[in-house]
Chains A and B, each alone.
Chain A
Amino acid sequence: GENVGLHLPTLSVQEGDNSIINCAYSNSASDYFIWYKQESGKGPQFIIDIRSNMDKRQGQRVTVLLNKTVKHLSLQIAATQPGDSAVYFCAENTSGYSTLTFGKGTMLLVSP
Chain B
Amino acid sequence: EPEVTQTPSHQVTQMGQEVILRCVPISNHLYFYWYRQILGQKVEFLVSFYNNEISEKSEIFDDQFSVERPDGSNFTLKIRSTKLEDSAMYFCASRARLADTGELFFGEGSRLTVL
* Contacting pair B91 A44 (CB below 8 A): yes
**Residue A60, interface by CB 8 Å:** no
**Residue A25, interface by CB 8 Å:** no
Most A-side CB within 10 Å, residue of B41, B48, B91: B41
* Contacting pair B48 A45 (CB below 8 A): no
Q: Which residues of A contact B4 (CB under 8 A)?
A: 43
* Contacting pair A34 B102 (CB below 8 A): yes
Interface residues of B in 37-59 (CB under 8 A from A): 39-45, 48, 50, 55-56, 58
Report the Cα distance A36→B39, complex, angstroms.
Answer: 17
Interface residues of A in 86-105 (CB under 8 A from B): 89, 91, 93, 97-105
Q: Which residues of B contact A36 (CB under 8 A)?
A: 43
* Contacting pair A98 B48 (CB below 8 A): yes
If A42-B109, A98-B50, A98-B56 touch, does A4 touch B101 (CB 8 Å cutoff)? no
In the assembled complex, the CB of B115 is this many whole angstroms from the nearest CB of chain A, namely 21
Q: Would you give the 0/1 interface string for B86-115, flagging 1 where the beta carbon is closer than 8 Å to chain A?
A: 000001010000100111111111000000
**Residue B31, interface by CB 8 Å:** yes
| Selected contact of B106 from candidates A5, A8, A45, A97, CB within 8 Å | A45
Q: Which residues of A contact B108 (CB under 8 A)?
A: 41-43
Q: Would you give the 0/1 interface string for A41-65, flagging 1 where the beta carbon is closer than 8 Å to chain B?
A: 1111110010000000000000000
* Contacting pair B42 A4 (CB below 8 A): yes
If A6-B39, A44-B43, A89-B43 touch, does A100 touch B109 (CB 8 Å cutoff)? no
Report the Cα distance A7→B41, complex, angstroms.
Answer: 9
